[in-house]
Amino acid sequence: MLLQIQTTNYQRDIIVAIVTATIVFLLLAFLIVAILLTYQRRRHQHTLEISDMKNKYEAELLKSQLEIQEQTLRTISQEIHDNIGQVLSLAKLQLYSLKSNCGEADIHPTTELIGQAINDLRNLSKSLNPDRIADIGLMESIRHELQLLQKTNAMETMFEVTGSMQRLPAEKEIIVFRIFQELMNNSIKHSKATVLKTCIDYQSNALVLSIADNGIGFDRESKTGIGLNSIKSRAAMINGVLQIDTAKNNGTQTILTVPL
């Protein structure tokens, strides 16, 4: 009887030991899993923080670069208006003073050329000056730029506006206008297009700018120029979405959507 009781107690102790060991093992396993999950979560959070800091740094760097660029363009615009334009105007006046000696027919072609140079410089000054863009607005700035292009006879231009016109903050309008200028210049330099069509669609919650040409297009997979990257960076600054639809010998259409 005593031997049976001892055997029973021994079996019970073994069961208790097994259960205790199992519980301890499960607790250790749970603790290890919890530590690993915490480590992974903190690592992921740290990666996100580093990525966020990098994105903020790049955004601030780009913003600073754009501010410096706009200030430089403002200075150049002012220099053209105040100095170069004045010098040409004085030269034109001096030519008129020589009219009695040379005759009007002799100096007329030169005065015409100087007058054209003055007008071209004034137009360039207007296109460069961000203050003027902010004053007259995005729509009129684009219209003015297209009119200048039309006068060169390099390309036929078309301009269409739909929806109720809404003004964006001045900084956004300047960035959108610079994107338009970059796309227009790309079309002039590379597309061999004869027609450039620009559309602004003022929607209830977004401004949609579309620029399309009938040029030779390009292969998007191989087109990684600085200009295109600059356009994408500018668009990202104002939370814009850039879509490019192009193919070789099939023209190019670029659509920029900017939330209002």
Letter string b/e over residues 214-242, b meaning 16 or more CB atoms within 10 A of that residue's CB: bbbbbeeeeeeeeebebbeebbeebebeb
Residues for the chain: how many in total?
A: 260
Q: What is the pLDDT of residue 2?
A: 52
List phi, psi (to 5°) of 8.
-65, -45
Q: Could you say which residues of the chain have pLDDT below 70? A: 1-10, 55, 57-66, 68, 70, 73, 77, 79-88, 90-108, 220-227
Spatial distance between the Cα atoms of 148 and 130, rounded to a whole number of angstroms: 17
Cite the DSSP H helix spans in the chain: 2-79, 85-97, 99-102, 104-128, 130-136, 138-151, 170-186, 226-237
Cα torsion 169, 171, 173, 179: sign: negative
Q: Is the pTM of this model over 0.85?
A: no
- pLDDT tens digits, 86-125: 666 766 666 666 666 666 666 667 777 777 777 777 777 7
Q: What is the pLDDT of residue 129?
A: 76
> Strand, coil or helix: what is 234?
helix
Letter string b/e over residues 184-212, b meaning 16 or more CB atoms within 10 A of that residue's CB: bebbbebbebeebbbbbebeeebbbbbbb
Q: What is the pLDDT of residue 106?
A: 61
Q: What is the pLDDT of residue 161?
A: 96
